[in-house]
Amino acid sequence: MGGVEMTDFSVKGRKALVTGGARGIGAAVSEILLRYGASVIVCDQNEAAWGSEDAVSRGLTKHPECLYFPCDISDAGAVGKLGQWCESELGGVDILVNCAGVDDEVDFHAMGVDRFDKIINVNLRGTFLVTQAVYQGMMRNGSGRIINIASQLAYKGSEKKVHYCASKAGVIGFTRALALEAAPHGINVNAVAPGPVETRMLSGLSDEWRAKKLHSLPIGHFGRVEDICATILLLASDQGAFYVGQTLSPNGGDVFL
């Protein structure tokens, strides 16, 4: 019996939607899905994101199989338009990667409702809205892959991040519950919970938080976006067919599950 070849991870001919796909982990995910044969719709907030260094350097903006759709995923009306466009122009999508997310630091006693809502609205509500927008198309086609980006902090917690940790724990609960409903329709729903990765989001946190987190990592360094992409490609490809409701955790040993 032969071993697994890299070609076995092909997603050739499939249509993928990646939220937050113009920067950070999302841009790297968009690139690897394109490299392995998918056409990709990059969903991100605005033209500035689409013109970012990540999108340009990874060749997304000029790739013939990569399209851009601006959308605030916390806005139900905007997401509705995204879903309608995916249906009318593409006949639905085969792979959804819910990668868009925001982070913040604030002591719990000083956390206003507006700051709490901002994190929840993008990280959890946005995941719900975009997934629901493409879910019926996947049901109609009898197949699909939904991959939600959570965080190791959903398990571990972190000071000054009650809102962020709550949102990502919600993503894991959402993943498990939807996986039970979706699997009989041929749709695999899973999550990836990365550890700290060198992105714009991480660099926006305080030096104190970053130093403390780096010191706690057994591997001794932050991750790279490429360290997360292989896991997502696995779940998107036929090699991930037996994963249902799981959360995979490339996290450098930050938490053991």
Catalytic positions are 164
**CA 61 – CA 97 distance, rounded (Å):** 19
